[in-house]
Amino acid sequence: MEITPGFLKDMPKIELHVHLESMMPGEMLERFAARQGKQLPRPAKELYHCSADDLSNFLAFLDSICAYVGTTEELSEVAEHAALESQRENILYMEAILNPTHWPQFTVPEIIQAVTAGFDRGQAAGGTDCRFTLSLSRTQTAEEAMELVEQMKAHRTPRLAGLSIDGNEILTGRTGERFRPAFLAAKAAGFGLTVHAGESSGPEGVRDAMDLLGADRLDHGVRAAEEPELVRRLAENQVPLNICLTSNLTLLYRCPEDHPLRRLLDAGAAVTLNRDDPTFLDGLTLTKELRRASSFGAMTGEELLNCQRTAACAAFCGEETKAALLAALADFEARL
């Protein structure tokens, strides 16, 4: 199965780890800022020409750019744009991560309604079928976490797929016990659970995500490779790792040869490939990410297709949608 430009372009794609906050073009934010009588800190074309190699600074910059989105209509436009742009890459299904702490100008119900409306419009116009997870920050309290879950339950829409958590574990330390009640409540309500772990945390963060938070899948998870026994556990249980190679090589692995993508694949881990924060990564496309993974990890065409199948099975959607995604992948393979 030869990996040609056409193969990568035409392959049906599924993405499970991309932050909506990092899918806003500079030109869009410039327009939003002008409505508020504000200016961007740099010209729109240079907005993302900044360092993304420190997680704390990166998260602070996310807060600053989200502030330029002043109305729920603009937030809906952000979501609609993401759905339409994703379709250009033949991404059939995408789950975006959205952290309400980056958007203090909106209530959680307003966020849910606005993002749902934008994704609805995007799909109706021929864009990608998009869902989203709401993410906690590790700096929040247990009470704030439970309140988020209660609001998710009260204002649920078909686009709201699950609960996530992110943030810099180097600064916060282990937080699994604090957020365990909220994750158990979300699970009981039928939401999917995904956890950023094994990026700013080591293997202990991966274990906490599974043992304390009951994660259905892990965002990143790559540092599990530091413990062979943990890798065996992940492989045996086929816990999906939503790996973001380009992001990892920017934020985490200063020596590219240290990245464990190939080792995790050889160990039988369930891997998906994702963009994480595309605007900060020079407008990274999922097609480019797959091409980089194929080269960096010596991945075959079959392995790249397997990543899409893994993503389809790990998606927080109904069985009918999963079956349709798997059928599209089978049809693509049959036509090769």
Question: Which residues in the chain land under pLDDT 70?
Answer: 51-56
**Largest pairwise CA distance in the chain:** 55
Q: Are 76 and 121 in contact (CB under 8 A)?
A: yes
Distance (Å, whole) CA 203 – CA 320 = 35
- The string of pLDDT tens digits covering residues 36-75 is 999 999 999 999 987 555 666 777 888 899 999 999 999 9
Distance (Å, whole) CA 213 – CA 182 = 9
- Which residue bears the tokens 């203090």? 104
**Of 46, 62, 59, 152, which is closest to residue 109 (Cα–Cα)?**
152
Angle at 102 between CA 98 and CA 106, to 5 degrees: 85
> What are the tokens at 213?
């938070």
> What are the tokens at 127?
């864009």
**Residue 232's CB: how many other CB atoms inside 10 A?**
14
Strand 192-197 versus strand 160-166 pairing type: parallel
- The string of pLDDT tens digits covering residues 200-213 is 899 999 999 999 99
> What are the tokens at 143?
């009470």
> What are the tokens at 3?
């990996």
Q: Are 210 and 179 in contact (CB under 8 A)?
A: no
Look at residue 54 in the predicted model and tell me its pLDDT: 60
**Of 36, 158, 156, which is closest to residue 105 (Cα–Cα)?**
36
Look at residue 60 in the predicted model and tell me its pLDDT: 82
Q: Does domain 5-334 have CATH number 3.40.50.300?
A: no
The residue type at 106: F
**Of 201, 194, 251, which is closest to residue 224 (Cα–Cα)?**
201
Look at residue 161 in the predicted model and tell me its pLDDT: 98
Look at residue 51 in the predicted model and tell me its pLDDT: 58
Distance (Å, whole) CA 115 – CA 126 = 17
Three-state secondary structure of the chain: CCCCHHHHHHCCEEEEEEEHHHCCCHHHHHHHHHHCCCCCCCCHHHCCCCCCCCHHHHHHHHHHHHCCCCCHHHHHHHHHHHHHHHHCCCEEEEEEEECHHHCCCCCHHHHHHHHHHHHHHHHHCCCCEEEEEEEEECCCCHHHHHHHHHHHHHCCCCCEEEEEEECCHHHHCCCHHHHHHHHHHHHHCCCEEEEEECCCCCHHHHHHHHHCCCCCEEEECHHHHHCHHHHHHHHHHCCCEEECHHHHHHHCCCCHHHCCHHHHHHCCCCEEECCECHHHHCCCCHHHHHHHHHHHCCCCHHHHHHHHHHHHHHCCCCHHHHHHHHHHHHHHHHCC
Q: Are 96 and 23 in contact (CB under 8 A)?
A: yes
**Residues 179-189: b if buried by 16+ CB within 10 A, e if exposed:** bbebbebbbee
Distance (Å, whole) CA 52 – CA 43 = 18
Distance (Å, whole) CA 231 – CA 29 = 41
Residue extents of the structural domains in the chain:
5-334
